[in-house]
A = this chain, B = another copy of it.
Amino acid sequence: MMPGSTKILDAAQTLFAGKGLDGVSIREIAEAAGISKATVFHHFESKDALYQAVVRRSCEGIGQLLALLAAREDGDPLISLADYRRQDLEETLAHADVVRLVLRELTLGRDEQARRLAEDVFGEHFIHLRKLLEKAQSTGALRHDMDTGIAAASVVSINLFLFLVWPVLKHLPDTPFVRMEDAAESMFALLVDGLRYQAQAAGGKA
């Protein structure tokens, strides 16, 4: 259909993810895509428009992934939750450049961009997770005295945190962080225990 602009988007995505908007020149992108600089402007009216297109396409990719993961809601919701988290990490690592790009976008603190991310992408992610958690609550697998939104955030925070801070973690002294998957599994297990917790010996919580 329009493989021309796709090639540009691919090249731009990789470069933007690695060096940010201002760290990459149109010349670089054109060279990586095997075309001339002017051709980039033939397909995209400005550098910023190209960048926005890259971000948008990345988000769409994430959205599709989430829809795919959400498709199989059956069986034990706790197992579904664990599967979801595991697959999410897999996809995060497989599309590391996209994730990095979105994360850097977040560090800019641009509120409007964040709102669009929330509406377009993470909204569904979030809703799906909440439903999964509510289902687990209704079967009695998880406790009822907690906000599913808070719990959902806790789940997604694990992969995001590990992905972002991993380079630091793996250099820590006496570190338990050797394989990211293992670390994520351990943190998730800890969280699930918190989600199952019923006030026992010590004072109860509202």
Q: Which residues of A contact B (CB under 8 A)?
A: 18-23, 100, 103-104, 106-111, 114-115, 117-119, 122-123, 126-127, 146-147, 149-151, 153-154, 157-158, 160-162, 164-165, 167-169, 171-177, 183, 186-187, 189-198, 200, 202, 205
| Chain B residues with CB under 8 A of A167 | 106, 109-111, 114-115, 118
By the criterion CB–CB under 8 Å, are B106 and A165 in contact?
yes
Q: Which of B147, B176, B196 contacts A150 (CB 8 A)?
A: B176
Give, as a whole number of angstroms, the nearest-CB distance from A51 to chain B: 12
By the criterion CB–CB under 8 Å, are A172 and B118 in contact?
yes
Given contacts A20-B22, A115-B171, 16 further A-B contacts (CB under 8 A): A19-B22, A22-B23, A104-B104, A104-B107, A107-B107, A107-B164, A111-B167, A149-B175, A150-B176, A153-B187, A154-B187, A157-B187, A160-B161, A190-B191, A197-B197, A200-B200
Q: Which of B106, B108, B149, B198 contacts A18 (CB 8 A)?
A: B108
| Chain B residues with CB under 8 A of A118 | 167-169, 171-172
Of A106, A162, A195, the most chain B CB neighbours within 10 A belong to A106
By the criterion CB–CB under 8 Å, are A107 and B100 in contact?
yes
Q: Which of B104, B198, B205 contacts A189 (CB 8 A)?
A: B205
What are 9 of the A-B contact pairs (CB < 8 Å)? A18-B108, A20-B23, A103-B164, A117-B168, A157-B157, A157-B165, A160-B165, A194-B194, A196-B197
